[in-house]
Structure 1
Amino acid sequence: MSYHRRGWLDGAVRILVTGANGYLGSAVARTLCADGHDVIGLVHRGRDGVPDGIVVRTAHLGDRDALGAALHGIELVCHLAALTRVRESFASPLDYFEVNAGGTVTLLQAMATAGVRKIVFASTASIYGAPRRQPMAEDLADDPPHPYAASKQAAESAIAAQAATGLLDATVLRLFNLAGGPDPDETQIISRILAVAAGENPTLIVNGDGSAVRDYLHRDDAARAFDAAMAGLSQPGRYRRYNIGTGVGTSINDLVAAATRVTRCHIPVEYRAAATEPDRLISDSSRAHTELGWSPNSDIDAIIEDAWSARRPR
């Protein structure tokens, strides 16, 4: 879907996508390129994982001069480069703040010098923590439960502060649980379920009774949200944040049932003592529906089918 005629866009835009070789960044780069934009992928090194047809520029997020060079001729930045693993963030919190918060600050400095005034930032709904009110809307207070979420919250704060100076037009997308396609994170629940279906692991270990409910979003739906958010940018000094999720709750038991339908494989489950975790975390994405014209297309079966197709040998 094209959103060009809904906002300031009236043709192709030259966009820098940071983290264009990542799980979501590659999908965003591919989506924007298919929509007719001139997409430049920013990576730390090489071009492995960057979609075909995307021009690559190389820079480290901590290198302001290299970022300045990469921003030459750019009109808008989609910033997705980040460290993203929750468990790892507990062990190496300073690395997460250095890359996710510090790298964002350095990017904003380089953008200011280069005269680039528009940014769409990939953030995380985990910043909300585990609020009692469900589904979760944007007016909830922040309560980041781990260093990863806290580092993303810090990055959001830097972006909001820069927007308040009148030098930046910014949209932040707080994403829910991404899934579908070739997910490189084998610790994610759908990857773990499909590993059992594929015979790579004998049993799915579940902490608790499998009733914990989460909001699973296809990464291609998330990528379309970046396209939609671009059209919502209007003028420097604007800062807006949106939840990007389906609003549909799916339990672990629901995931196992869906994976069984899709793969036609038996998936043994071993239930163990419950972990301390929220019972239910669901998005209220009505602001994105209303203001951006964005809504997801994929249900949980489509998400699992896509992930299963990516896992199976060709």
Structure 2
Amino acid sequence: MRVLVTGAAGYLGHAVVAALAERGHDPVAFVRDAAKAPRQAAATAVGDVEDPASLREAVRDVEGVCHLAARARVRESLADPLPYWRTNVNGTLNLLGALTDRDAPASLVLASTAAVYGTPTVQPISEDAPIAPTNPYGATKAAADLAAANVAATGRLGAISLRAFNIAGAVDGHPDRDFTRLIPKVLAVQAGLAEELGVNGDGSAVRDFVHVADMAHAFVLAIEACTPGEWRAYNVGSGRETSINDVLAAAEQITGRPVRIKRNPPANEPRVLLADSRRIREELGWQAPNSDLSQILSDGWKSLTSAYAAPE
């Protein structure tokens, strides 16, 4: 299958392109800068999701789209929400418009997020949990999901939304350089790229981490499973309970040095956020073989230190 990957130059985009190619598909990298397209891409299309004309051209000869292009920082979305609505919602609407202009129905997999659920009290979180985002990022992703579901219901495409929890680790030497996220920030501190890690409260908050390779494999399974006229949402998480303190301890063991931390007052955030991923496991056969915390950290550490190593 020829599959367009929007946001292909990003952290997850590199992993998805690699996973599609390994499966025998022909991934087409949709990027703003052709020089940043992943090497595994079968072809490159230059454009922007906020430019409808470039999207119409890019989808002309593909059978499916993995839609990853988005703004994805929660705190940034609270401070400046309008760019999130422009990119995450308008960008998705532009893509849906381009796909529905075609004669044949396409397959569409959207990179969604657990943030659409807000802070549910029932854990782990299933796809039946109410949609109640608490920040603009989650709200824009929920809107994109709903738009895709509405268009799919017309029969003009088949769509799946993959609601990721916390993606980490590395594939093919591409670390996550977003140091606003917990694991990349911990590794950055250990590599000397950041001074310290701020920890809210006692570090006992629990999160669900999934390896980027396992997340990428979910996209491959989903693009193969789309059915015209249907939309489906799947949670993607390991289901493993991992506290902030667990991450610190594992990072210290892997890097061989203590993590320099700054203790902050407890924040107004959920104590536990865990994925119920039974639906994707049972319906698509997805598994998370790489999502052990030690492998996530080891892969991320190796890629980060290699990427930032000084030339000889």
TM range (shorter): over 0.9
Partner residue, 1:220: 213
Question: How far did residue 185 of structure 1 move?
Answer: 0.4
SS at match of 2:71: coil
Q: In the alignment, residue 173 of structure 1 is paired with which amino acid?
A: L
Partner residue, 1:191: 184
SS at match of 2:4: strand
Q: In the alignment, residue 56 of structure 2 is paired with which amino acid?
A: G
State how many pairs are aligned: 301
Do the aligned residues in 2 keep the contact of 1:138 with 1:241 (CA within 8 Å)? yes
CA deviations on 1:47-66 (whole Å, 9 max, x unpaired) are 31523444110122122222
Partner residue, 2:6: 18
Q: In the alignment, residue 195 of structure 1 is paired with which amino acid?
A: A
- Shifted more, 168-177 versus 114-123: the winner is 114-123
Partner residue, 2:242: 250
Do the aligned residues in 1 keep the contact of 2:28 with 2:41 (CA within 8 Å)? no
- Shifted more, 41-50 versus 15-24: the winner is 41-50
Matched, 1:175 2:168: no
Q: Which of the residues 14, 19, 29 maps onto 1:41?
A: 29
Q: Which of the residues 146, 151, 160 maps onto 2:149?
A: 160
- Alignment partners' CA distance in 2, 1:67 and 1:267: 44
Do the aligned residues in 2 keep the contact of 1:29 with 1:54 (CA within 8 Å)? no
SS at match of 1:114: coil
- Shifted more, 192-201 versus 123-132: the winner is 192-201
Alignment of 1:204-283 (within 5 A): 204-234=197-227, 236-283=228-275
Partner residue, 1:60: 48
Partner residue, 1:291: 283
SS at match of 1:280: coil
CA deviations on 1:28-73 (whole Å, 9 max, x unpaired) are 0111011111111111233315234441101221222221111121
Q: In the alignment, residue 110 of structure 1 is paired with which amino acid?
A: A
SS at match of 2:35: coil
- The 1:201/1:98 distance shift into structure 2, 3 A limit, reads closer
Divergent runs of 4+, >4 A = none
Question: How far did residue 309 of structure 1 move?
Answer: 0.4
- Alignment partners' CA distance in 2, 1:268 and 1:99: 36
Q: Which of the residues 281, 295, 298 maps onto 1:302?
A: 295
- The 1:200/1:98 distance shift into structure 2, 3 A limit, reads closer
- Alignment partners' CA distance in 2, 1:199 and 1:88: 24
Partner residue, 1:107: 95
Do the aligned residues in 2 keep the contact of 1:213 with 1:281 (CA within 8 Å)? yes
Do the aligned residues in 2 keep the contact of 1:21 with 1:51 (CA within 8 Å)? no
- The 1:49/1:263 distance shift into structure 2, 3 A limit, reads farther
Q: TM-score, normalised by structure 2?
A: 0.93
- Alignment partners' CA distance in 1, 2:130 and 2:41: 41
Q: Which of the residues 58, 62, 83 maps onto 1:95?
A: 83
Q: TM-score, normalised by structure 1?
A: 0.92
Matched, 1:148 2:148: no
SS at match of 1:230: helix
- The 1:238/1:302 distance shift into structure 2, 3 A limit, reads same
Q: In the alignment, residue 249 of structure 1 is paired with which amino acid?
A: E
Q: What RMSD in Å do the two structures reach over aligned CA positions?
A: 1.4
Q: In the alignment, residue 97 of structure 2 is paired with which amino acid?
A: Q
Aligned residues with identical type, % of pairs: 44
Q: In the alignment, residue 42 of structure 1 is paired with which amino acid?
A: F
Do the aligned residues in 1 keep the contact of 2:31 with 2:45 (CA within 8 Å)? yes
Q: In the alignment, residue 285 of structure 1 is paired with which amino acid?
A: S
Q: In the alignment, residue 21 of structure 2 is paired with which amino acid?
A: C
- Shifted more, 199-208 versus 73-82: the winner is 199-208
- Alignment partners' CA distance in 1, 2:215 and 2:157: 23
Unmatched runs of 5 consecutive residues or more in structure 1: 1-12
Partner residue, 2:61: 73
Question: How far did residue 201 of structure 1 move?
Answer: 4.0
- Alignment partners' CA distance in 1, 2:128 and 2:165: 16
Unmatched runs of 5 consecutive residues or more in structure 2: none
- Alignment partners' CA distance in 2, 1:102 and 1:176: 23
- Alignment partners' CA distance in 1, 2:194 and 2:222: 40
